[in-house]
Amino acid sequence: MKVLVPVKRVVDANVRVRVKADGSAVDIANVKLSMNPFDEISVEEAVRLKEAGVASEVVVVSCGVQACQETLRTAMATGADRGILVETDVELQPLAVAKLLKALVDKEQPQLVMLGKQAIDDDANQVGQMLAALLGWPQATFASKVSVEAGKAIVTREIDGGLETIEVDLPAVVTTDLRLNTPRYATLPNIMKAKKKPLDVVAPAALGVDIAPRLSTLNLAEPAKRAAGMRVADAADLVAKLKNVARVI
């Protein structure tokens, strides 16, 4: 079984995001970029399926600028077999990414596509669902446990009411949640080996996909700074301030 794992290069989760002075975009100059944390979990789960003898090949895919090759090499250093970069300088929106992934799925013919439930930069939570719709495949989102047997995937999902376990026929699309696993660190020997693993670069035009943006960002702004707190003398003073200052009662 072949597993296809899309990964995205985003601003590192530990970096404080800043907006450009003109409000046009997030400032990524001299900012550390790394793999989306949810996609790290997807790569780890795919590698575990391979180690368990369930999967025969793990292919990682990224869509974006040339520097995304670093993200793919990181994924290969943790166990993926090869990488594919759909290289473009155009700002990619979820529908365009889903269409690119569909074209690659048609070409690669994987039995399972596993990707993070969302990217931490736009928090859209759309690509997995859009891809499943375009492919006409079953989907299992927000997975906290995944097992594959007899041509089916048994997925435990995190929902508002607790946990839900569903069974879907393969091929399928699975999006991963934080509690699925703990990603491993890439060792130095594996980092060196990853440099020799195959990495193909294709253009969106070669896949026959129109990636022109359909939405435009009008303005970005940082959240308003939190106001300083107040001290209250007693319960009556608290109630008065909630009523007259905060106006919440």
Looking at every residue in the chain, the average pLDDT score rounds to 93
pTM: 0.85
- Cα distance between residue 249 and residue 238, in whole Å: 11
Q: What pLDDT is stored for residue 207 in this prediction?
A: 94
* Cis amide linkage into residue 189, ω under 30° from 0: no
Q: Where are the domains of the chain?
A: 2-244
Side chain identity at 32, as an amino acid letter?
K
Q: What pLDDT is stored for residue 21 in this prediction?
A: 84
Query: 98-121: per-residue pLDDT in tens?
Result: 999 999 999 999 999 999 999 998
**Within its chain, how far is the Cα of 187 from the centroid?**
23
Backbone angles phi and psi of 220, in degrees to 5: -120, 145
184 to 19, 56, 144, 181: CA distances (angstroms): 32, 20, 17, 9
- Cα distance between residue 158 and residue 50, in whole Å: 24
What is 2-244's CATH number? 3.40.50.620
Label residue 173 by pLDDT band (50, 70, 90): very high
Within 10 A of 246 (CB to CB), how many other CB atoms are there? 9
DSSP secondary structure letter of residue 19: B
Query: 44-87: per-residue pLDDT in tens?
Result: 999 999 999 999 999 999 999 999 999 999 999 999 999 999 99
Q: Is the pLDDT of residue 88 over 90?
A: yes
Within 10 A of 88 (CB to CB), how many other CB atoms are there? 20
Side chain identity at 114, as an amino acid letter?
M
